[in-house]
Amino acid sequence: MLPVIPGRLHLLSHLVPGAAERDPTGLALVGTDERLDHGTLATRVGQLAAALRSVGVTSGDRVVIFAPKSSQTFVAMHAALHAGGIAVPVDPRAPAPVLESLARELVPRAIIVAATTAGRWPDPSVPTIGESIDQTTSHLTWTDVDGFEASGPANRLGSDPAYIISTSGSTGRPKSIVHTHTSALRYAELAAGCYGLRPDDRMANVAPFHFDQSTFELYAAPLVGAATVLVPDVLLRFPASVSELLERERVSTWYSVPTILRQLHQRGALEQRDLRALRWVLFGGEIFPPTELRALMASIPEARFSNVYGPAEINQCMYFHLDGPPTGEQSIPIGTAWQDTELRIVGHDGAMVPQEGRGELLVRTATAMAGYWNRPELDERVFVSEPADGGLVRRWYRTGDVVERHADGLITFVGRVDRQVKIRGVRVELEAVEAALDAVDGVTASAAICVDDPEAPLVGIVETSTISDVSVVHRAIREILPPGAVPDRVVLVDSLPVTTSGKVDTVSAAQLLEVGVRT
Amino acid sequence: MRVEQLDDLATELTEMIQTEITFGQPVEPDTDLLLTGLVDSLGVIRIVTWMEDHLEIEIDPVDVVLENFQTVALMVDYARRR
């Protein structure tokens, strides 16, 4: 096995062993029922990697992590890489059709399971590790894993795939984003620099591992030797419990979608907590209304706040540090690019917008994905190849986001070129929601609409002559759509307006609702 | 809050959760509503609001914690302590 040379990291799987070498007894991970130091974390990662190899995982194999967030799944995200494989975190609440599609396309070599997910993976022949309900297939328990001798990280190239994150596509078929060791490591390094991360930081991990925001803690924390404090998914439903955890663990950084921060402000009893250790709050994934951001910043006056931008395909690559609470009602800028990144704005006419103006944002960056798994046609659509000197090619990523650059050079988000929306920070393609609604027995047409209501932003309008009970529709679509894409409200109508081409007119359909529509 | 209100609370709370939150999926007093994913954060808010209206009490955000809201039985226990 190759030695890990400090300062010469080229693999993501070098991060945990590196931290263990520098500070073996320093705090690395706070889970719900255990605390691990860097040395123990590295041993646990090495043991699970050895267990993964024993069930057949070799270089390039996919390892699905299909379990709620815990210290075990944190270990598993690193162990998959350590074994030479590719980590694939999957939402433990994903519905059967999504799991079937992932099983078919990714063909994993091993699956990490919990009691709540065991038996739900569509292909029972894949070896499992973790908690299980039956022992019919090849299965290792956590106790079995403890019996393995820890192994070192497999030799890979920086350009090899490291992890895959799936988002729902417009047809319902998931889009699986492939990041390499290099793209993720560069992200971790740039993030550590941008937010001045230190070994004594305690970073709250709020996002689930299948959501790309979690790479901030997963990789930047071990890079600098900081500790990660896991915020379990269940706890997020109780903002007062979250704020209690922040105080108890003296958390110093936080990164989440604005929705969770708004809940923390409204129901987190912040005035009763001592959050002086919290030095930096990052938010991203959707727009933070200035009024609510102002109120939140007043309740955590010591912390700095930053708006973070970057689709999962290219990682975070833009930031805006707020000097203080926003004064007006204008939206918070997504800011400027960090290092190793170039931005370009392209107008309707396809011409570059050199200074101020609006257009689609294109990015080329060291933190960009390798491509989508098994989807060359999508790669072709999102990557633009630009000829460079010497016959070389520069590859730009088309974000699909319409932005505006202002006179001061700062950029603000304006909207989308397609029908993708963000619901509580999660990407949702409205076409996929409509396809699911249309598939319900008795539905003749549908329109999915994003409305101006923070409590219930996603509304499905359904045309039906046979369904009278709306819960029939709710139940049916819950079986098909990922939890984040299920409409908060379903409205039944006798008929939906159509355009001259015969398609459902979603703009007119929205007028059937009594609330303002987000564009 | 009257005693008979509390006696019916478990039944009424279960009924509300089944119709408005889980859309027909059955809920028992000891069903873990959170780990199972049956109730999300908006669901918790709706339960809290319903209890406040129904029992004519104010629930302090500090009391809205996992320990008090994991199951219908725990919610009833919490209401009883109020």
Q: A31 CA to chain B: closest CA distance, Å?
A: 16
Q: Residue B66 is nearest to which of A235, A267, A471, comparing CB atoms?
A: A235
Average model confidence (pLDDT) across chain A: 92
Residue A7 pLDDT grade (very low, low, confident, very high; cuts 50, 70, 90): low
Q: B62 CA to chain A: closest CA distance, Å?
A: 5
Mutate to test the interface with A, among B19, B32, B35 (most CBs of A within 10 A): B35
Q: Residue A237 is nearest to which of B23, B25, B40, comparing CB atoms?
A: B40
Average model confidence (pLDDT) across chain B: 86
Classify residue A154 by its DSSP letter: P
Contacts of A460 in chain B (CB under 8 A): none
Q: Count CB pairs under 8 A between chains A and B.
A: 55
Q: A235 CA to chain B: closest CA distance, Å?
A: 7
Q: B20 CA to chain A: closest CA distance, Å?
A: 8
Cβ distance A472 to A413 under 8 Å?
Answer: no
**Of A17-31, A152-166, A372-386, B60-74, which gets the smallest average pLDDT?**
B60-74
Which chain A residue has its CA at the smallest distance from B61's CA? A267
pLDDT value at residue A484: 85
Does residue A267 or residue A62 have the better pLDDT? A62
Q: Do A234 and B34 touch (CB under 8 A)?
A: yes
CA A163/CA A350 separation, integer angstroms? 33
pLDDT tens-place string over residues A506-515: 888 888 886 5
Classify residue B27 by its DSSP letter: -
pLDDT value at residue A1: 44
% pLDDT > 90, chain B: 40
Collect all residues from A whose CB is shorter than 8 A from any CB in B.
68, 93, 116, 234-241, 244, 263, 266-269, 272, 455-456, 471, 474-475, 478, 483, 488
Contacts of B22 in chain A (CB under 8 A): none
CA A467/CA A287 separation, integer angstroms? 36
3-state secondary structure of A447: strand
Q: How would you class A437 by CB atoms within 10 Å of its CB: exposed for 0-12, middle for 13-18, buried for 19 or more? A: buried
Going through A366-457 in order, the beta strands assigned E by DSSP cover 371-372, 383-387, 393-405, 411-416, 420-423, 426-429, 443-450
A322's CB contacts (< 8 A; 6+ apart) are: A297, A304, A305, A306, A307, A332
CA A493/CA A98 separation, integer angstroms? 29
Residues in chain A: 519
Cβ distance A95 to A480 under 8 Å?
Answer: yes
Q: A334-369 burial by CB neighbour count: b if 16+ within 10 A, else e?
A: bbbbbeebebbbbeeeeeebeeeeebbbbbbbbbbb
The domains found in chain B, sorted by start residue, are: 3-81 (1.10.1200.10)
Residue A244 pLDDT grade (very low, low, confident, very high; cuts 50, 70, 90): very high
Residue A455 pLDDT grade (very low, low, confident, very high; cuts 50, 70, 90): confident
Q: B6 CA to chain A: closest CA distance, Å?
A: 24
Q: Residue A267 is nearest to which of B40, B61, B66, comparing CB atoms?
A: B61
pLDDT value at residue A519: 42
% pLDDT > 90, chain A: 75
Q: Do A237 and B34 touch (CB under 8 A)?
A: yes
Contacts of A68 in chain B (CB under 8 A): 35
Asked whether residue B24 carries a pLDDT value surpassing 50, the answer given is yes
Q: B1 CA to chain A: closest CA distance, Å?
A: 24
Q: Using alpha carbons, list the distances in angstroms from residue A47 to A66, A83, A218, A264.
A: 19, 10, 18, 37
Cβ distance A164 to A178 under 8 Å?
Answer: yes
Which chain A residue has its CA at the smallest distance from B34's CA? A234
Collect all residues from B whose CB is shorter than 8 A from any CB in A.
19, 23-25, 34-37, 39-45, 60-66, 69
pLDDT tens-place string over residues A313-355: 999 989 999 999 999 888 999 999 999 999 999 998 889 999 9
Contacts of B46 in chain A (CB under 8 A): none
Q: Using alpha carbons, list the distances in angstroms from residue A473 to A303, A440, A446.
A: 44, 7, 11
Which residues are bridge partners to A320 per DSSP? Answer: A307
Structure pTM?
0.90
Q: A213 CA to chain B: closest CA distance, Å?
A: 20
pLDDT value at residue A219: 98
Q: How would you class A171 by CB atoms within 10 Å of its CB: exposed for 0-12, middle for 13-18, buried for 19 or more? A: exposed
Asked whether residue A429 carries a pLDDT value surpassing 60, the answer given is yes
Helix (H) or strand (E) holding A298: helix A290-299
Q: Do B69 and A478 touch (CB under 8 A)?
A: no
